Structure 1
Amino acid sequence: MTNLYMVRHAHSIYTPDEMGRPLSKKGLLDAKQIINLLKKEDIHIAISSPYKRAFQTIEGVSNYFKLDIQIEFELRERTLSSYPIDDFETAITKVWEDPSFCLKGGESNTIAQQRGIACIFKILEKHKGKNIVIGTHGNIMVLIMNYFDAKYGFDFWKNLQMPDIYKLSFEDTNLKSISKVLVSELL
């Protein structure tokens, strides 16, 4: 079995700089707790989105297991638009209602999902039989999970925590199970 521990980043400080946006003080404290959740999982590989908040969220786990974090650009958050959005709720609802819809300069659910899934299959092929922690983001994480099971959709995304962890277990590239790692017990 190959186990992917998909970690949605902890709370971050909003800035328009998607790449450099850091975790907040609360996010940094919560990220430390992730070590306690995953230290019994014998993590072999650490992979992150290039975004600072995702990297920071799994950094403690990678340090605990003495792993370098590999950056996978394809695990970055989906681009909603290339311009500021006045009504985020309406925009995010629309892209989830119509998987092929995208705002100017943004990615549709279909395009973002294809990007994320291609990366996941590459990881599964390269790291068969390993336990892998992956620092990522809410939308792209749920789009990846949705590829395997449609119950992981917009309503599921709306109820995610920061941070949140889901374990996806695979035999080769066949998903066998998805289970939640109970972050709320530590936070």
Structure 2
Amino acid sequence: MTVVYFIRHAEPNYKNHNDELRELTEKGLADRKLVTEFLRDKDIDIVLSSPYKRSIDTVKHFADKYGRQVITIPDFRERKVDSVWIDDFTSFSEQQWKDFDYKLTDGETLREVQSRNIAALEWVLKEYKNKNIVVGSHGTALSTIINHYDTSFGYLSFKKIKAIMPWIVKFTFDGNLLQSIEMINV
């Protein structure tokens, strides 16, 4: 069995509008210790992450404590909303979940995000078969992965987890076949 723990990042500093460099808040820095505590007895073999700072920093506390390197996988990055900051993110998100092909001028559709993240996950399942894996992730990216395996996970489910940071979702696979999904609040 391959077990993948997707870790949605801890609380970010939304005053920083640079999606790639957005850091964790003081609360986020403290809360990443909850992730380390949760993972301490899970026999983790490898730590992967989106290349975005908030995701790396959320799993890096665990990696540093247990002598693991954080390997970034660019395709696990969060969705690109647009080249400008979106003030009404709620309406935008709702529209995207209603129409997986909806995007702003310089953004990505949820279908594109899902395809990219699933391709990355399939590579991980092949590369690290029968390992216990951590992946630093994001709310939307992770939600599209869940939706790929369980289409009942849509906008209302996304809305429920929107404020939960950090958040852990455990996927168990036999080869490439999903055996279970467990959503964990730490």
CA displacement at 1:19 relative to structure 2 = 1.1
Q: 2: CA distance between counterparts of 1:43 and 1:124?
A: 14
1:36-185 equivalence runs, <5 A: 36-160=37-161, 161-183=164-186
| Same amino acid, percent of matched pairs | 36
Q: 2: CA distance between counterparts of 1:104 and 1:182?
A: 35
TM-score by length of 1: 0.95
Matched length: 183
More moved, 21-30 vs 173-182? 173-182
Contact 1:43 1:65 in 2 (8 A): no
TM-score by length of 2: 0.95
What are the Cα deviations for residues 6-40 of structure 1, in whole angstroms up to 9, with x where unaligned? 00000011111111111000000000121111111
Contact 1:169 1:176 in 2 (8 A): yes
SS at match of 2:178: strand
Q: 2: CA distance between counterparts of 1:93 and 1:40?
A: 37
CA displacement at 1:82 relative to structure 2 = 2.0
Aligned to 1:22: 23
SS at match of 1:41: coil
Aligned to 1:9: 9
Aligned residues: CA RMSD? 1.0
CA displacement at 1:85 relative to structure 2 = 1.9
Structure 2: segments with no counterpart, 5+ residues: none
Structure 1: segments with no counterpart, 5+ residues: none
What are the Cα deviations for residues 140-160 of structure 1, in whole angstroms up to 9, with x where unaligned? 001011111112222111122
